[in-house]
Chain A
Amino acid sequence: MPTDTHPTAPTDLDSTLLTYVLRQGDRSLVLAQRLLENVAHSPELEEDMALANVALDLIGQSRLLYTYAGQVDAGPTGEVAADAPSSDRLDENHYAYWRPDTAFTSPLLVEQPNGDFAHLITRQFLHDAFAAPYWQAMTTSTDETLAAIAAKAVKETAYHLRHSRGWVVRLGDGTDESHRRMQVAIDALWRFTGELFERDDVEDGLAQRGVAADPTSLERVWQETVASTLAEATLDRPSDEHMRTGGRHGRHSEGFSYLIGEMQSVARAHPGASW
């Protein structure tokens, strides 16, 4: 009985698009939060500024993505009442501050603790080698909003990759101590890289419509970037055994709830506040 269908009920496309957009927003925001934990702890003032800039770029990307998620989430009529409590309004703050940690679908890689600078910059490189070609591919998305976000993000992430890649080479091909620390970092983080290229019905369906980037072609570019960088950095590429997964389904590591708790504490202590 077609007349029973609610006119604004989300379509399959809407719900997969929402999932997809939140995945990208969560990946950016969680990595930014980790980077910002490091502010004032970088080995040099200049690098502190560089990493804070990267984090602010990532927050900017997640804001655009969350804002778009809210539009997709609300449906064509934007059903959420204007006088609803701030936690129910589907704006960017809703997705950043009012979801539980288990609702975040960021990959495990970006939530890994900062550790020493080798860990922090290796995590950044492994992410950037994904994000740069990802946003490049998304500039031709058939979704106009995502293509517009990509047009901005592609320049930012190209620079992030240049910066983090430079550090991987500099430290990998540096002193004995910096080389040793970099190899430890790449060995520790490698197990979280497979999840970046996981595909499911959400990715496949949207990729078929030209909305999403194809994970398989992204992985090919990522593998090339990582292989050439590690070779230049005289670092060994770890084996692909024992890849970890779960973040995309809300199953995060132990430290994740603390990360989210800290990030959300001010917004939850002062609901609706603006500054």
Chain B
Amino acid sequence: MSSDWPAWEVFVRARRGVGHVHAGTVHAPDATLAIENARDLYTRRNEGVSLWVVRSSDVVTSDPDERHSMFDPAADKSFRQPTDFELPPDVAHM
């Protein structure tokens, strides 16, 4: 019967001030029960203070076949890292 119930991606916020982080997936027939199932599976040991669920089919993903053109060009752009720059000696408190 699991095939009847769509999958939902679960995001948990561990505490106030931090973002929701992907925790896993549950099956549920509707959004209300998806939240309840997520609560029982991913916050049973006090892991969270807030939950998001989204239908897995609504998540748009990058194409794994295009991962080289998507992500490799960032590999040699060290100037995008703040540590790439030498600070002038007169700059204090950095």
Contact = CB atoms under 8 A, between A and B. Distances in A.
Contacts of A53: 40, 44
A9 interface: no
Contacts, number: 31
Contact residues on B (Cβ < 8 Å of other chain), bracket: 10 to 19
Contact of A49 (B1, B29, B41): B41
Contact of B29 (A50, A162, A163, A170): A170
Given A53-B40, A163-B36, A43 B28 contact: no
B30 interface: yes
B40 A49 contact: yes
Nearest to A166: B32
Contact residues on A (Cβ < 8 Å of other chain), bracket: 10 to 19
Given A53-B40, A53-B44, A43 B1 contact: yes
A198 to B, nearest CB: 32
Given A49-B41, A53-B44, A44 B36 contact: no
B33 interface: yes
A50 B27 contact: no
A45 B40 CA distance: 11
A41 to B, nearest CB: 12
Interface of B: 1-2, 5, 26-30, 32-33, 36-37, 40-41, 44
